[in-house]
Structure 1
Amino acid sequence: MSFNDLGLSEPLLRAVREQGYDTPTPIQARGIPTILEGGDVMAAAQTGTGKTAGFTLPLLERLMQTRPERGPRRVRALVLTPTRELAAQVQESVDTYGRHVPLKSTPIFGGVSMRPQLQALRRGVDILVATPGRLLDHLNQGTVDLSSVETLVLDEADRMLDMGFLPDIKRVLAALPAKRQTLLFSATFSEQIAGMARGMLRSPTRIEVAQRNTAAESVNQTVHPVSRAGKRGLLSHLVRDGDWRQVLVFTRTKHGADRLAKQLDQDGLAASAIHGNKSQAARTRALGQFKQGRTRILVATDIAARGLDIEHLPHVVNFDLPNVAEDYVHRIGRTGRAGKGGEAVSLVCVDELKLLKGIEKVLGGSIRKHTVAGFEPDPSERPEPLFKKPAGRRRPPEAGQRRRGGGQRRDAGASRRA
Structure 2
Amino acid sequence: MTPIQARAIPPLLAGRDVLGSAQTGTGKTAAFLLPIIDHLARNPSRGKPVIRTLVLTPTRELAAQIGESFDTYARFLKLRHRVIFGGVNERPQIGALRRGIDALIATPGRLLDLHSQGHIDFSHVNFFVLDEADRMLDMGFIRDIRKVLALLPQQRQNLLFSATMPHAIVKLASTFLHDPIRVEVEPESTTVELITQQVMFVERSNKKRLLKELLLDPSIESAIVFTRTKHGADRVVRILTKADIHSAAIHGNKSQGARQRALAAFKAGDVRVLVATDIASRGIDVDGISHVFNYDLPNISESYVHRIGRTGRAGRDGIAIAFCDENETEYLRDIEKLTGTPLTVVTDHAWHYPEAMPDADSQQETRKGRRSGHRPWKPARPPKGESRRERQPKEDSRNQRRSQNDSGGQQQPKRENDDRKRSKEESGDQKRTKGAGRNRRRSRNQGGAQRRSKGAPQQRRRRRKQSRPPKKR
Q: Give structure 1 stretches of 5+ with no counterpart.
A: 1-23, 383-418
Equivalent of residue 33 in structure 2, options 44, 56, 70: 56
Change (3 A) 1:214 1:378: closer
The structure having more radius of gyration, on CA atoms, is 2
Q: Cα offset for 1:373?
A: 2.8
Partner of residue 405, structure 1: none
- Amino-acid identity (%): 53
2:254 matched to which residue of 1?
Answer: 278
Aligned match of 1:377? 353
C-alpha RMSD over aligned residues = 1.6
Q: Cα offset for 1:378?
A: 6.4
Q: CA deviation at 1:228?
A: 1.4
| Residue 58 of structure 1, CA deviation | 0.6
Select 1:154's aligned residue among 130, 143, 164.
130
The alignment partner of 2:174 has SS state of helix
Question: Per-residue deviation at 1:349?
Answer: 1.1
Cα distance in 2, alignment partners of residues 280 and 344 from structure 1:
28
Distance in 1 separating the partners of 2:101 and 2:71: 13
Q: Deviation of residue 174 (structure 1)?
A: 1.6
Determine the C-alpha separation between the residues in 2 that align with 1:308 and 1:160. Answer: 16
Distance across 1 between alignment mates of 2:240 and 2:288: 23
1:66 maps onto 2:43 in alignment: yes
**Partner of residue 32, structure 1:** 9
CA distance in 2, matches of 1:380, 1:96: 48
Written as runs of structure 1 = structure 2, the 5 A alignment for 1:314-325 is 314-325=290-301
Letter in 2 for 1:25: T
SS of 2:159's partner is: strand
Contact 2:86 2:110 in 1 (8 A): yes
How many angstroms apart in 2 are the aligned matches of 1:143 and 1:354? 48
Higher relative contact order (CA 8 A, sep 6+): 1
Equivalent residues, number: 359
Q: Alpha-carbon deviation of 1:307? A: 2.0
Greater helix percent: which structure? 2
1:95 aligns with 2:71: yes
Deviations 1:261-307 (A, max 9, x none): 00110011111111100000000011111111111111111011122
Q: Measured at CA, do residues 380 and 29 of structure 1 come closer, stay the same or move farther in structure 2, by a change above 3 Å?
A: closer
**Deviation string, structure 1 residues 72-131 (Cα, Å, up to 9, x no partner):** 110000000000000001001100000111111000000110000001101100000000
Change in 2 beyond 3 A, CA 1:380/1:322: closer
CA distance in 2, matches of 1:291, 1:64: 31
Which stretches in structure 2 are left out of the alignment for 5+ residues?
A: 359-473
Specify which of 292, 295, 303 is matched with residue 268 of structure 2.
Answer: 292
Match of residue 386 from structure 2:
none
> Retained in 1: the 8 A contact 2:212–2:240?
yes
Task: Identify which range, 235-244 or 138-147, moves more after superposition.
Answer: 235-244
Q: Does 1:235 align with 2:235?
A: no
What pairs up with 1:351-390 in 2 under 5 angstroms?
Answer: 351-377=327-353, 379=355
Is residue 224–residue 372 contact of structure 1 (8 Å, CA) maintained in 2? no
Determine the C-alpha separation between the residues in 1 that align with 2:356 and 2:193.
Answer: 36
Contact 1:226 1:371 survives alignment (8 Å): no
Opposite residue 229 of structure 1, the aligned amino acid is S
After superposition, residues 388-407 of structure 1 pair within 5 angstroms as none
- SS at 1:351's partner residue? coil
Q: Could you tell me which residue of structure 1 aligns to residue 382 of structure 2?
A: none
Q: How does 1:240-279 map to 2 (within 5 A)?
A: 240-279=216-255
Matched, 1:75 2:51: yes
| Cα distance between partner residues in 2 of 1:100 and 1:32 | 21
Match of 2:199? Answer: 223
- How has the CA–CA distance of structure 1 residues 131 and 300 changed in structure 2, closer, same or farther, with 3 Å as cutoff? same
Does structure 1 conserve the Cα–Cα contact (< 8 Å) formed by 2:82 and 2:101? yes
Distance 1:202 1:226, change over 3 A: same
Rounded to whole Å, the distance in 2 between the matches of 1:381 and 1:195 is 38
Aligned AA for 1:179?
Q
Write the distance in 2 (CA, Å) between the matches of 1:167 and 1:30: 31
Note the alpha carbon deviations across 1:135-154, whole angstroms, 9 max, x for none: 00011101111110000000
CA distance in 1, matches of 2:356, 2:318: 34
Report the AA paired with residue 246 of structure 1: S
TM superposition score normalised by structure 2: 0.74
Shift in Å at residue 175 of structure 1? 1.5
Distance 1:381 1:154 in 2: 40
